[in-house]
Structure 1
Amino acid sequence: MIGLIYFAVIVLANTVGSVSGIGGGVIIKPILDFIGFHTVTEISFYSTVAVFTMAITSTIRQVKARNNFNWKIIWWVCMGSVLGGILGNVVYEGFFKLFNDETTIQFIQIGVTVVSLLFAFLYTRFRFRALVLTTNFWYFSCGIFLGALASFLGIGGGPINVALLMFMFKLPIKKAALYSICIILFSQAAKLLAIFFSTGFSPYDLQMLLFIIPAAAIGGLLGTKVSHRISTQNVTGIFELVILIVLAINVYNGYQLL
């Protein structure tokens, strides 16, 4: 039963995540936290696998559709996100050793997620004046920050990816969503490799992946198809609506931990 619940959650989350560029993890993790069937560490791992799978399927579809990517931005941001993904996992494990308490770690993750969501919502709603940074240094630095944040939170990237890309490089939301999915692909690959070479995958119930991986792939494919058929205004509306919903779930989860 729990596998079917996870399947439904992940299909829906990754469909919305692929359309808006938020990756799905920002929806998956708080909902699975709310369900409470697995530990924080297990949920973080399952969320990582889900958004990584979604990013693979979505990126392949986007490349086949021959979307006009700026490969220079993608290369430097994604390379930064690989390093950031590894650093984020190191920080997560460091916090876990420091506090040795899953509740504390979950509370920290919720706090950082809420701040990220508020920034993303306020930026897309009020459209603060964007920067126009064009050097490789800024592309790489942006990737490190986003990759580390995504890995630490276990959400793949979330709205902060799209908002920061729009803010730093003055990208339209649809283009930022495409690049966000690429960042998610590389940062989550780095995190999975870091897990493999540190603790390995044996601590996790890998049978759950029989539900998680197909659901994530279906969500990624559906999201890409929907993205091609809706307007920029609709993408922005979905983006902001999801932020508000997930913000409410995170605040509730945080309140439950008090």
Structure 2
Amino acid sequence: MLIFLIYFFIGLLASTIGAIAGLGGGVIIKPVLDMFGHFDLATVGVLSAATVLSMSIVSMFKARKSNVTINITASSMIAVGSIVGGIIGKALFNYIVFSLHATKITAISQSIILVLLLSTIYIYFKKKDQYTTFVLKNTFIIFSVGILLGVLAAFLGIGGGPLNVAVLSFLFSMNAKNASINSIFIIFFSQLSALLLIGFTTGFEIYDLSMLSYMVLGGILGGWIGSIVVTNIRNSQVEKLFNLSILVIICINIYNIIQAVLLQ
């Protein structure tokens, strides 16, 4: 019972923060499950994707009654690009893990890349007032950005939340709340496509999904709670939560890198 509660609360906490800050939750779930070491790398990706998908469905449903808006044109184009990129990123991940059997190297590489990306994003948001932001209109560029986000998100197994928020803020001049819900909109399609790809390729039988229902339940409840909270707080508070979450995730990934290196 204790282990079931632990995984439920992982899904709940990650999804609540993800729904508020647009992180999605995968960027929290992935390094935390890596740290626990109960599941292999591929299974972690499936658990994360399913939890984040459940959160995104609830968050978008609740967002219909809020004052935040989804930029359908830009976010849809990024979402389509992220689906294409997600297929590429997942194929690359599967080839390295299943064909080359380089699970340990992949896990370390994922953590290092995450630390570098998240550190860059943290610095950007701390100094974003010093940068000029844009409002992209070119369809090809927006689609290409989506592909890049999709490749990174699928390979890293994170859903892409913090990457989406940074891109939406910098390239589309969105405030924290709008970037959050648009990020979740993109995440919904990327995680749905990732799970469908798994279903049509390797199938789900090879994964240990014993904790799936508990994490998905946490994802649903977290999406509901986070959607309520985000409508009642200021943009500045969303940014503070985002930055704090990024710092914590960086620390967890650094711990995972050190642990993986020492155990080699």
Smaller-chain TM-score bracket: over 0.9
State whether residues 88 and 152 of structure 1, in contact with CA within 8 Å, keep that contact through their aligned partners in structure 2: yes
Task: Specify which of 225, 235, 238 is matched with residue 235 of structure 1.
Answer: 238
Instruction: Look up the match of 2:23.
Output: 22
Determine what percentage of the aligned residue pairs are the same residue: 38
Unaligned runs of 5+ in 1: none
* Equivalences for residues 34-113 of structure 1 within 5 A: 34-65=35-66, 67-97=68-98, 99-113=100-114
Post-superposition Cα deviations, 1:207-247, rounded to whole Å, max 9, x if no partner, equal 32221111110011111110000000000000000000000
State whether residues 143 and 183 of structure 1, in contact with CA within 8 Å, keep that contact through their aligned partners in structure 2: no
Instruction: Look up the match of 1:145.
Output: 148
User: CA separation in 1, counterparts of 2:113 and 2:185?
Assistant: 22
User: CA separation in 1, counterparts of 2:176 and 2:148?
Assistant: 19
Instruction: Look up the match of 1:166.
Output: 169
Instruction: Look up the match of 2:181.
Output: 178
User: Is the counterpart of residue 125 in structure 1 residue 143 in structure 2?
Assistant: no
RMSD: 1.4
Post-superposition Cα deviations, 1:103-122, rounded to whole Å, max 9, x if no partner, equal 11101111111121012101
Residue aligned with 1:3, SS: helix
Structure 1 segments of 4+ aligned residues over 6 angstroms from their partners: none
User: CA separation in 2, counterparts of 1:68 and 1:37?
Assistant: 39
Instruction: Look up the match of 2:219.
Output: 216
User: CA separation in 2, counterparts of 1:148 and 1:179?
Assistant: 18
User: CA separation in 2, counterparts of 1:97 and 1:213?
Assistant: 26
State whether residues 176 and 236 of structure 2, in contact with CA within 8 Å, keep that contact through their aligned partners in structure 1: no
**TM-score w.r.t. length of structure 2:** 0.93
Aligned-pair CA distance for 1:49: 0.8
User: CA separation in 2, counterparts of 1:200 and 1:86?
Assistant: 15
User: CA separation in 2, counterparts of 1:69 and 1:132?
Assistant: 14
State whether residues 110 and 156 of structure 2, in contact with CA within 8 Å, keep that contact through their aligned partners in structure 1: yes
Unaligned runs of 5+ in 2: none
Post-superposition Cα deviations, 1:91-113, rounded to whole Å, max 9, x if no partner, equal 11122245413211101111111
State whether residues 83 and 190 of structure 1, in contact with CA within 8 Å, keep that contact through their aligned partners in structure 2: no
State whether residues 68 and 177 of structure 2, in contact with CA within 8 Å, keep that contact through their aligned partners in structure 1: no
State whether residues 87 and 151 of structure 2, in contact with CA within 8 Å, keep that contact through their aligned partners in structure 1: yes
**TM-score w.r.t. length of structure 1:** 0.95
Task: Specify which of 180, 201, 205 is matched with residue 202 of structure 1.
Answer: 205
* Residue identity opposite 1:102 in structure 2: T
* Residue identity opposite 1:61 in structure 2: K
User: CA separation in 1, counterparts of 2:99 and 2:213?
Assistant: 33
User: CA separation in 1, counterparts of 2:43 and 2:127?
Assistant: 37
User: Is the counterpart of residue 189 in structure 1 residue 192 in structure 2?
Assistant: yes
User: CA separation in 2, counterparts of 1:67 and 1:237?
Assistant: 18
Instruction: Look up the match of 1:6.
Output: 7
Moved more, 16-25 or 208-217: 208-217
User: CA separation in 2, counterparts of 1:68 and 1:234?
Assistant: 18
User: CA separation in 2, counterparts of 1:117 and 1:240?
Assistant: 10
Moved more, 180-189 or 200-209: 200-209
State whether residues 66 and 231 of structure 2, in contact with CA within 8 Å, keep that contact through their aligned partners in structure 1: no
* Residue identity opposite 1:233 in structure 2: S
Instruction: Look up the match of 1:246.
Output: 249
Moved more, 206-215 or 174-183: 206-215
* Residue identity opposite 2:59 in structure 1: S
* Residue identity opposite 2:160 in structure 1: G
User: CA separation in 2, counterparts of 1:66 and 1:83?
Assistant: 31
